[in-house]
Chain A
């Protein structure tokens, strides 16, 4: 260990260290943008959430009143409960399915796997708005081809937009949008597992299922946990899909169907920006707390390297 620095020319190292300030200059433009377009607005939102604006009387400081209103809003919490349920179903389903596909492609036990990988990834190029629009037409009760198909195979008249079915419907849409993206990342990660390890396991008589679940899964676990984070943060912010479906079936997608919809409808729909800002801050805190909790748990179990 101690030999390694000695092998580097001394003068060069020292000269290098006097030239470290340009690093700060190089990162400045991005840090400036980050400050102006993320940090300043966040601070301002907190400030705004502590105010109340009245039509008569203008804006005045109101302390925690907006937060009390959000925390006491049954509608807001119902939305939080809904996205938690949504995340608990959608995220493991998407990642589990993606892992199985990626493992099959990686083992080479599927024909035409290049073609499949390309096709699966295509929805990444489809905006959520367009995805939700297509699926709305496909599932439209009475007319949509899939609604007719459900009728045809004897499921009867299924209303995919009813208040009971709307959440599973959104799970399917989001699964359609994000499975291929997760396949791509897990596949890339699986490819970096050295072949010799697999060969050695085969010599030892391990079956394919054992190799995939006991050998490869642990090796790509850091990638999977990262995907878990990203997918969960995305799921908790669910907005685009329900807001588009709302145009087709307003009665199934309520004012506070998800916390993001609550924020949008409160601020832009009802014009109560202060209350909307408070709701946005609470949502950010919930997501932050969940992330930190998961992070701490992962660290304690020694999975974070």
Chain B
């Protein structure tokens, strides 16, 4: 009887003494220099990862001639960043206005993010805390949509939109983005772990309605999970390219991804001057908000970094 309790306490103490969250590395008996070599390899990969972003930031400050004519990884005069930024507010290419695309993207990401979070929370709660007929089959149906190619849904969506008049409609972009199998999976797991069934039953005994239980007990207990789902949806919508490419033909509805791609076509095919720096600056402004969001809310991303390449 007492021996399991002993070992339990003992190992807990051992863990506390170990302090670090991993086994002390001298125990591995590594050859000298191994840590240095591995750190250098990681450093090389970090350079590989950071170089394109650094290139983007540096070249956003250049004129078109300097983008092509000066070393890519260093600055050049004249410092053209502010001119490039102000060009984002003008329709210099005939392809559309970057600022408008930024506004559209913010709108799509915010509305779809909030909607998807609410739907995922509702459904995750339904699957986690109730056993109703067909629950398992429906959950498997939801999970199987993870494997459905986005190409195979975007084109059919367009075909249906053409019938019901949702082509070039904001809702045609927002509503499908609210369907999130990963969101439901995360919310179900999260509610399973952090909303005790006894608490819900107790509230029921006290006469609380189901809606009230959801709003006043379940939602407050799952805030970290909700933030994770919100962030993942925002990133997925922000980065989505195929769906908006297919359903929007009017450039004033474009999100950033489609806008930038049409700008790049203009920059390459047309002879319109000074488009390349605008393209580069536009890319930088597209990336920065998400990187900032990510650096500040990293733990939420890690918590649910499950969002598959299926949504890319």
Contact = CB atoms under 8 A, between A and B. Distances in A.
Contacts of B160: 40-41, 44
B242 interface: yes
Interface string A109-121: 1111101101111
B151 A260 contact: yes
Interface in B1-36: 11, 15, 18, 20-23, 25, 27-30, 34-35
A30 B22 CA distance: 41
B193 interface: no
Interface stretch (A59-67, A123-131, A153-161, A296-304): A123-131
Interface in A14-59: 15-17, 19-27, 29-31, 33-34, 36-38, 40-42, 44-45, 48
A86 interface: no
A26 B160 CA distance: 27
A20 B152 contact: no
A30 B184 contact: yes
Contacts of A42: 148, 152-153, 156
A292 to B, nearest CB: 9
A220 B291 CA distance: 29
A97 B305 CA distance: 18
A137 B133 CA distance: 55
A217 interface: no
B119 A284 contact: no
B179 A130 contact: no
Contacts of A178: 309
A231 B298 contact: no
Contacts of A34: 141-142, 145, 179
A208 interface: yes
Nearest to B46: A119
A269 B302 CA distance: 39
B149 A237 contact: yes
Interface stretch (B81-89, B91-99, B282-290): B282-290
A195 to B, nearest CB: 6
A135 interface: yes
A77 B201 CA distance: 57
Nearest to B27: A202
Contacts of A207: 28-29
B35 A133 contact: no
A184 B241 contact: no
Given A45-B156, A126-B290, A130-B260, A33 B28 contact: no
Q: Which of A26, A101, A178, A236 has the most CB of B within 10 A?
A: A26
A103 B155 CA distance: 40
Contacts of A119: 46, 49-50
Interface residues of B, number: 113
Interface string B33-51: 0110011001101101111
Contact of A20 (B42, B132, B306): B132
Contacts of A264: 151, 155, 242, 245-246
Given A116-B42, A198-B23, A107 B241 contact: no
B35 A111 contact: yes
Interface in B227-247: 235, 238-239, 241-242, 245-246
B268 interface: yes
Given A38-B148, A138-B52, A184-B305, A33 B179 contact: yes
A288 B147 contact: yes
B189 interface: no
A166 interface: no
Interface in A138-186: 138, 143-145, 176-181, 184-185
A267 B245 CA distance: 12
B135 interface: yes
Contacts of A188: 302, 305
Contact of B52 (A135, A237, A260): A135
Contact of B159 (A45, A106, A180, A243): A45
14 contacts: A19-B210, A22-B126, A25-B126, A40-B160, A104-B42, A109-B25, A121-B294, A128-B257, A196-B11, A202-B28, A208-B28, A230-B308, A273-B155, A288-B147
Interface of A: 12, 15-17, 19-27, 29-31, 33-34, 36-38, 40-42, 44-45, 48, 101, 104, 106-113, 115-116, 118-131, 133-138, 143-145, 176-181, 184-185, 188, 191, 195-196, 198-199, 202, 207-208, 211, 229-231, 233-237, 239-240, 243-244, 247-248, 259-260, 263-264, 267-268, 273, 276-277, 280-281, 283-284, 287-288, 291
